């Protein structure tokens, strides 16, 4: 890829290796972004909070997306583990022993494991309580809620 000296004495700049590196970086960042975005359900309207704090980078977390289906007066709860490439699992509320076992196994492998609840603004408190109970049954004490910062 290096070229010999030109007649003018100016060094020549090879652009091909730079393009290769940029394409590799582009693919890397696209793959990271899609796995992060896949964890969040865009149909959920998060509540706002006056004192919301910016999310810390998580070591590992389980995410509960709680979407309130108002027409049917029921909640649709999807659990997404922090593992890459895992699909969301529909949670059978209020009791789902499979999810409790998955949470317990995840917590055993990581002492900083936490649960994040992303719930619609219209979700009744009893549904949020049921999700928190699942986390408590697994022995997880760190439960966080997603909100939007109120401007």
pLDDT under 70: residue ranges of the chain: 1-9, 33-41, 52-59, 82-86, 150-151
Q: Please tell me the predicted confidence (pLDDT) of residue 131.
A: 92
For residue range 26-38, list pLDDT tens digits in order.
Answer: 888 887 765 555 5
- Please choose, from the candidates 48, 45, 66, the residue with its C-alpha nearest in 3D space to the C-alpha of residue 115: 66
Q: What is the pTM of this model?
A: 0.66
Where exactly are the structural domains of the chain?
Answer: 48-149
Q: What is the mean pLDDT of the chain?
A: 80
Q: Please tell me the predicted confidence (pLDDT) of residue 59.
A: 61
Q: Please tell me the predicted confidence (pLDDT) of residue 124.
A: 92
In sequence order, what are the residues at sequence separation of 6 or more whose Cβ sits closer than 8 angstroms to the Cβ of residue 67? 41, 43, 44, 75, 76, 77, 78, 120, 123
Q: What is 48-149's CATH number, 3.30.420.270, 3.10.450.50, 3.40.50.620, 3.10.20.740?
A: 3.30.420.270
48-49 and 89-90 as β-strands: parallel, antiparallel, unpaired?
A: unpaired
Query: Residue ranges of the alpha helices (H) in 1-151?
Result: 16-37, 97-109, 125-137
């Amino acid at each position: 890829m290096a070229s010999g000296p030109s007649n003018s004495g100016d060094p020549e700049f090879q652009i091909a290796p730079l393009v290769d590196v940029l394409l590799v970086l582009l693919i890397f960042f696209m793959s990271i972004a899609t796995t992060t975005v896949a964890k969040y359900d865009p149909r959920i309207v998060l509540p706002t909070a006056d004192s919301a704090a910016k999310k810390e980078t998580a070591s590992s977390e389980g995410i509960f997306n709680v979407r309130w289906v108002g027409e049917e007066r029921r909640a649709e709860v999807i659990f997404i583990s922090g593992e890459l490439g895992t699909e969301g699992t529909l949670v059978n509320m209020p009791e789902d022993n499979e999810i409790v076992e998955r949470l317990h196994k995840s917590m055993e492998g990581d002492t900083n494991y936490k649960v994040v609840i992303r719930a619609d603004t219209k979700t009744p408190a009893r549904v949020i309580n049921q999700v928190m109970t699942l986390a408590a049954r697994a022995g997880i004490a760190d439960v966080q809620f997603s909100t939007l910062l109120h401007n």
